[in-house]
Amino acid sequence: MNVAARHILIVGAGHAGGVAAATLRQTGFTGAITLIGGEAHPPYERPPLSKELLAGAIPVEKTYLRPLAFYTENGIAFRPGETAVAIDRAAQRVELANGDTVPYDALLLTLGARARRLALPGADHPRVLYLRDIVDSLALREHLNTGARIAVIGAGFIGLEAAAVARKHGAAVTVLEVQREPLQRVCAPEIGRFMATLHRRNGVNLRTGVAVVAIEEKGGALEIRTADGETVAADIVLAGIGAQPNVELAHAAGLAVEDGIVTDEFGRTSDPNVFAAGDVTRHFNPLLGRKLRLEAWQNAQNQAMAVAKVMAGGDRPHAEVPWFWTDQYDVNLQIAGAPKRWDDLVWRGGPDDKAFTVFAMQDGKPVAATTMNNGREMRPAREMIARGRAVDPARLADAKVKLQDLARET
Partner 1 sequence: MADENWVTVAKRSAINPGDVLGVTLGEREIALYDLDGAIYATDNLCTHAFALLSQGWLDGEIIECPLHGGRFEVKTGKGLGPPINDDLKTYPVRVVGEDIQVKLD
Ligand X SMILES: Cc1cc2nc3c(=O)[nH]c(=O)nc-3n(C[C@H](O)[C@H](O)[C@H](O)COP(=O)(O)OP(=O)(O)OC[C@H]3O[C@@H](n4cnc5c(N)ncnc54)[C@H](O)[C@@H]3O)c2cc1C
Counting residues that bind partner 1 (by CB under 8 A) gives: 22
Residue span binding ligand X (CB under 6 A) among the ranges 45-53, 265-273, 346-354, 393-401:
45-53
Sign of the Cα torsion 257, 260, 265, 267 reads: positive
- What single letter denotes the amino acid at residue 12? G
Q: Is 410 in the site for ligand X (CB under 6 A)?
A: no
State which of positions 7-26 bind ligand X (CB under 6 A). 11-17
Among 125, 379, 387, 395, binds partner 1 (CB under 8 A): 379
Per-residue contact string for residues 51-70; x = within reach of partner 1 by CB under 8 A: -x-------------x----
Q: Which does 255 bind (CB under 5 to 8 A by kind): partner 1, ligand X, none?
A: none
Which whole-number Å values give the CA distances from 263 to 112, 268, 312, in the listed order? 14, 5, 17
Counting contacts by CB under 6 A, is residue 370 touching ligand X?
no
Site string for ligand X, 114-153 (x = CB under 6 A): -----------------xx---------------------
Query: CB under 5 to 8 A by kind: which of partner 1, ligand X, none does 52 bind?
Result: partner 1
Exposed / middle / buried, residue 387 (Cβ in 10 Å: 0-12, 13-18, 19+)? middle
Return the residue nearest ligand X (CB atom). Answer: 14
For the beta carbon of residue 205, count every other beta carbon within 10 angstroms. 14
In the complex with ligand X, which residue's Cβ is closer, 188 or 296? 296
CA 388 – CA 362 distance, rounded (Å): 10
158-217 residues in contact with ligand X (CB under 6 A) are 158
Q: Which range touches ligand X (CB under 6 A), out of 27-35, 38-46, 180-188, 356-364?
A: 38-46
In the complex, least distance from residue 380 CB atom to partner 1, rounded to whole angstroms:
8
Contact call for residues 25 and 123 (beta carbons, < 8 A): no
Q: For partner 1, give the closer residue by CB, 145 or 404.
A: 404
Q: How far is it, in rounded angstroms, from Cα 129 to Cα 131?
A: 7
Distance CA 410, CA 24 (A): 36
Residues of span 25-54 touching partner 1 by CB under 8 A = 45, 48, 52
Nearer Cβ to ligand X (40/213): 40
> What's the min distance (Å) between Cβ of 6 and partner 1?
26
In the bound complex, what is the minimum distance in angstroms from residue 76's beta carbon to partner 1? 16
Q: Does 387 bind partner 1 (CB under 8 A)?
A: no
**Maximum pairwise Cα distance, the chain:** 65
Picking from 320, 374, 313, the residue whose alpha carbon sits closest to that of residue 347 is 374
Query: In whole angstroms, what is the distance from residue 382 CA to residue 380 CA?
Result: 5
- Is 296 an interacting residue with respect to ligand X (CB under 6 A)? yes
Least distance to ligand X, CB of residue 320, Å: 13
CB of 286 to ligand X, least distance (A): 20
Exposed, middle or buried: residue 393 (CB in 10 Å: 0-12, 13-18, 19+)?
middle
Give the burial class of 153: count Cβ atoms within 10 A of its Cβ; 0-12 exposed, 13-18 middle, 19 or more buried.
buried
Q: Report the run of H or E that residue 206 belongs to, with start and end.
A: strand 205-208
Work out the angle at residue 327's Cα, subtended by the Cα atoms of residues 231 and 155, and round it to the nearest 5 degrees.
Answer: 25
Under 8 Å between Cβ of 74 and 25? yes
332 near partner 1, rule: CB under 8 A: yes
Binding residues (CB under 6 A) for ligand X: these are: 11-17, 36-39, 46-47, 49-50, 83-84, 110-113, 131-132, 158, 246, 249, 278-280, 295-298, 300, 324-326
